[in-house]
A = this chain, B = another copy of it.
Amino acid sequence: MKQKNGMPLAQAAAEDIIEMIRTNHMKPGDRLENEYELAKKLNVGRSTVREAVKSLETRNILTIKRGAGTFISQNEGVAVDPLGISLMGKDEGIALELLDVRMILEPESAALAAIHADKNEIAEISRQNRKVIGMIRQGLDHHEEDARFHQLIAEATKNRIIAKLVPIIQQSVGLTAEMTSKRLTETTVSFHEQIVEAITRGDANGARSAMIAHISENRIYIIKEIERKRRFE
């Protein structure tokens, strides 16, 4: 295989395309130049461009629409089920392991949000929380809106890695969700409100504590569910 700086040519072309996307500040939905123009610009053959574009499609950075062209993906490079959790199964173990990871990540996420959230972010978190609480009280499936609440907190941390990780974990919770989707209690509402209040007053320790309590509640609920299922087996 032909190489450039010890890197396969198509991989080097893919890196060049990423660099191009970044320096031109291209946004999801923007259209990439065609194969011919790219080949000229990157100084490689069209088959190399094709291979590079395909690898970037695999990485959810580009989306190829037959007949329409190649576009910047809406996913911003984040894969669907990036941890491959759908391959692991949907057992109870996974649900608990996910909660253990949430317990590691999200209290710190809440604490950082309390430190870094600006007024607009606080308003949006608060609005989203009212939406979730409304759905809980109406007995609706609030899983997606709840995930969005946790995502907004992660984004307010201003740590771009946490902002990507928390939604991935939340999305994975969705993959294993049957057992977690119906814990619709007044204590959930109360912990959510405590989280929002602590973030609003810039209270990092308060936000961390309330998030720990919230996730602990989920954990206890799931363990009870597992025990209940076992009794009926």
Q: Which A residues fall within an 8 A CB radius of B? A: 15, 18, 21-22, 57-61, 75-89, 93-94, 97-98, 100-101, 104-105, 108, 159-162, 164-165, 168-169, 172
A161 to B97, CA, bound (A): 7
A-B contact pairs, 29 of them (CB 8 A): A15-B86, A18-B87, A21-B87, A22-B87, A57-B58, A58-B58, A58-B80, A60-B84, A61-B87, A76-B84, A77-B81, A78-B83, A78-B84, A79-B79, A83-B161, A83-B165, A83-B168, A84-B164, A85-B164, A88-B160, A97-B160, A97-B162, A98-B161, A100-B159, A101-B162, A101-B165, A104-B162, A105-B105, A161-B169
Which residue from chain B places its CB closest to the CB of A78 in the assembled complex?
B84
Which residue from chain B places its CB closest to the CB of A57 in the assembled complex?
B58
Q: Please state if A59 and B76 are interface contacts (CB–CB under 8 Å).
A: no
Tell me, rounded to whole Å, the shortest Cβ–Cβ distance linking A148 to chain B.
Answer: 19
A98 to B159, CA, bound (A): 8
A80 to B78, CA, bound (A): 10
A164 to B108, CA, bound (A): 20
Query: Which of A75, A79, A164: most chain B Cβ within 10 A?
Result: A79
Q: Please state if A165 and B165 are interface contacts (CB–CB under 8 Å).
A: yes
Tell me, rounded to whole Å, the shortest Cβ–Cβ distance linking A204 to chain B.
Answer: 14
Which residue from chain B places its CB closest to the CB of A86 in the assembled complex?
B18
Q: Please state if B108 and A104 are interface contacts (CB–CB under 8 Å).
A: yes
Which residue from chain B places its CB closest to the CB of A84 in the assembled complex?
B77
A91 to B68, CA, bound (A): 34
